[in-house]
Structure 1
Amino acid sequence: MFELSGTWWEIPVRATLVYIVLLVLMRVSGHRTVGQFTPFDLLIVMLLSEAVSNGLNGEEKSLTGGLVSAATLIGLNLFVAFITARNHRMQVLVEGRAVLIGRDGKVFEDVIKRHHVPLCDVERALREADCDLTDMRFAFLEADGQISILQESGSPVEK
Structure 2
Amino acid sequence: MSIDWSGIFVPSLGLLEVFVRGTIIYLAMFAILRFGARRQAGQFGPADLLVIVLIADAAQNGLGKEYGSVTEAIVLVLTIVFWEYVIDWLKWRVPALRSVLTAPPLTLVENGRVVPAALRHESLTEDELMGQLREREVEDVRDVKLARLEGDGRISVLKNK
- TM-score, normalization: structure 1? 0.54
CA distance 1:89–1:116, shift in 2 (3 Å): farther
Q: Equivalent residue for 1:144?
A: 152
2:113 to 94, 100, 106: 106
What is the aligned-residue RMSD (CA, Å)? 3.5
Report the alpha carbon displacement of residue 63 of structure 1 after superposing the two structures with TM: 2.5
- Aligned pair count reads 110
- Asked if residue 34 in structure 1 is aligned to residue 46 in structure 2, the reply is yes
- Asked if residue 118 in structure 1 is aligned to residue 125 in structure 2, the reply is yes
**Partners in 2 of 1:62 and 1:95 — Cα distance?**
35
- Asked if residue 129 in structure 1 is aligned to residue 137 in structure 2, the reply is yes
**Partners in 1 of 2:133 and 2:76 — Cα distance?**
43
Give the conservation status (yes or no) of the 8 Å contact 1:34–1:144. Answer: yes
Unaligned segments of structure 2, at least 5 residues: 1-44
Alignment of 1:1-159 (within 5 A): 34=46, 61-127=68-134, 128-153=136-161
**Partners in 2 of 1:150 and 1:136 — Cα distance?**
6
Letter in 1 for 2:91: T
**Partners in 2 of 1:135 and 1:78 — Cα distance?**
38
Report the alpha carbon displacement of residue 69 of structure 1 after superposing the two structures with TM: 1.3
CA distance 1:74–1:46, shift in 2 (3 Å): closer
Sequence identity (%): 21
More relative contact order, 1 or 2 (CA 8 Å, 6+ apart): 1
Letter in 1 for 2:150: E
**Partners in 1 of 2:139 and 2:118 — Cα distance?**
21
Give the conservation status (yes or no) of the 8 Å contact 1:125–1:149. Answer: no
Report the alpha carbon displacement of residue 97 of structure 1 after superposing the two structures with TM: 1.9
Give the conservation status (yes or no) of the 8 Å contact 1:98–1:140. Answer: yes
Give the conservation status (yes or no) of the 8 Å contact 2:138–2:144. Answer: no
Letter in 1 for 2:140: D
Which protein is bigger by CA-based radius of gyration? 2
Unaligned segments of structure 1, at least 5 residues: 1-32, 154-159
Report the alpha carbon displacement of residue 110 of structure 1 after superposing the two structures with TM: 2.3
Deviations 1:53-103 (A, max 9, x none): 88xxxx972223222212211211221121111122322322222111121
